[in-house]
Chains A and B, each alone.
Chain A
Amino acid sequence: MEQRHEHHHDDEHGSELSEMQLRVRALETVLTEKGYIDPAALDAIIEAYETKVGPHIGARVVAKAWSDPSFKRALLEDGTKAVLGLGIINRVGDHLIAVENTPKQHNMIVCTLCSCYPWEVLGLPPVWYKSAPYRSRAVNDPRGVLADFGVALPADTAIRVWDSTAETRFIVLPMRPKGSENWSEEKLASLVTRDSMIGTGLAKQPGEVT
């Protein structure tokens, strides 16, 4: 991918990067020679994560929930079943749970122990989600965390944090912004950010997208 930084350190002053490149190359070579893995499968996995799986899937789920009350009910009742029924992806892990933001309650998702995240609908988690600052503070200072994202909620909005400590996975259904009433599902999806589905952001305002 163009966006990946390719660094080459040919001198003897090995940075962590060059050390890791060498280690991973050695690991892949050894595992291939031992017959455990096929490098072509690795290429396919990377391609899937870079081009197929990502928050665009979750955005379509949210847009559908905003425009179709019966789908929204089904999503909140059984996220796995409802998302499968949409036909965007053909497999969803067990127990995908959608939680709805309202003016009274804002939901935020974290995994304090590692990096559990709803891959099927959001892709791989961003670095900050897996970082010590987020994992340590989300459960006792969620308003402070939101401030790091430039988000300030009304004082009377309660905060509910979901710690993903098992194989259940959570996606936040953000509030639909005012002024998007007659929008198509496709246009609505453009308002749905990844962070709004983790609960560290809000959906965009209609004026923010073209």
Chain B
Amino acid sequence: MDGVHDMGGMHGFGKVEPEKDEPVFHEEWEARTQALYRAMSYTGAWVIDQARFTREQLPPTVYLASSYYKKWELGMERQLAELGLAGADELAAGHALRPGKPLKRKLSAAEVPNIITRGSFARPAEKPARFKPGDHVRTKNIHPKTHTRLPRYARDKIGVVEALRGCHVFPDTVAIGKGEDPQWLYTVLFDGRELWGESAEPSLKVSIEAFEPYLDSA
């Protein structure tokens, strides 16, 4: 979706402000939120792209005004309600008002060292890759109202395939419950001027990780 989360190239957000000796978490609730998200992901209640899509659907004013972990927390509340796993009435009451639904599995403390690593999204290929390194490609001019990982600034642009990165779960379908539909993934390199016009820094090159359905031959 063409939301405010798709920030590449936008103006007006000001300077980057690094914090010296930044702690891993600034507040206890941030740590709990991160851990709650990980533990609920482990149950199989949602996959990562569904969680991303839910956060993207927060109202733009809420998205921009909320801290990072607040977005996670609000996204989780929304997702739990949509899935019927926990209702707004229960969160308001601070207690479960109905029994839980059965979930695939439950994370134990002993299992935690094994889940700190990201999951694997690589899948066996169903067909040969359409492009190879060196091929010129044009990204599609798409504007789905649902989740996509093709950023706005890199749509309808000509680039060069730099590398083939294997075959992976396709975020655009899995985010909306339409299956993993594995797709080949490429690193596609763009000249800064192709993306930003004549005012771009001459030496700039930018790459995205592009799934095959995002690309046409050029």
Which A residues have a C-beta under 8 Å from some C-beta of B?
1, 3-7, 16-17, 20-21, 23-31, 33-38, 40-46, 48-50, 52-54, 89, 91-95, 110, 112-115, 119-120, 123-124, 126-128, 130-143, 145, 148-149, 157-169, 195, 200
A133 CA to B85 CA, complexed, in Å: 35
A179 CA to B177 CA, complexed, in Å: 55
7 A-B contact pairs sorted by A residue (CB < 8 Å): A16-B70, A34-B101, A41-B112, A43-B35, A92-B117, A94-B118, A160-B207
Contact status B196-A140, CB under 8 Å: yes
**Contacts A28-B36, A95-B122, A140-B200 known; A126 to B22 CB distance under 8 Å?**
yes
Contact of A4 among B14, B31, B168, B187 (CB under 8 A): B31
Contact of B90 among A25, A30, A94 (CB under 8 A): A30
Contact status A161-B17, CB under 8 Å: no
**Contacts A24-B32, A42-B36 known; A163 to B8 CB distance under 8 Å?**
yes
Contact of B76 among A16, A27, A52, A158 (CB under 8 A): A27
User: Does any Cβ of A come within 8 Å of B58's Cβ?
Assistant: no
Contact status A4-B26, CB under 8 Å: yes
The 9 closest A-B pairs by CB, nearest first: A34-B100, A112-B8, A93-B118, A166-B209, A158-B203, A33-B96, A42-B35, A91-B117, A44-B112
Shortest distance from the beta carbon of B51 to any chain A beta carbon, whole Å: 10
- Residue picked from A7, A93, A114, A133, most chain B C-beta under 10 Å: A114
**Contacts A16-B70, A34-B100, A37-B40 known; A163 to B208 CB distance under 8 Å?**
yes
Shortest distance from the beta carbon of A45 to any chain B beta carbon, whole Å: 4
Q: How many residues of B contact A (CB 8 A)?
A: 99
Contact status B168-A166, CB under 8 Å: yes
Residues of B within 8 A of A1 (CB): 23-25
Contact status A132-B7, CB under 8 Å: yes
Contact status B7-A42, CB under 8 Å: no
Residues of A within 8 A of B31 (CB): 4, 46, 49-50
Contact status A131-B16, CB under 8 Å: yes
User: Does any Cβ of A come within 8 Å of B113's Cβ?
Assistant: yes
Could you mark each residue 144-174 of chain B with 1 if its beta carbon is under 8 Å from any beta carbon of chain A, else 0?
A: 0000011101100000000001101101000
Contact status B38-A45, CB under 8 Å: yes
User: Does any Cβ of A come within 8 Å of B137's Cβ?
Assistant: no
Contact status B39-A45, CB under 8 Å: yes
Shortest distance from the beta carbon of B172 to any chain A beta carbon, whole Å: 11
CB under 8 Å from chain A, chain B span 155-206: 165-166, 168-169, 171, 185, 187, 192, 195-196, 200-201, 203-206
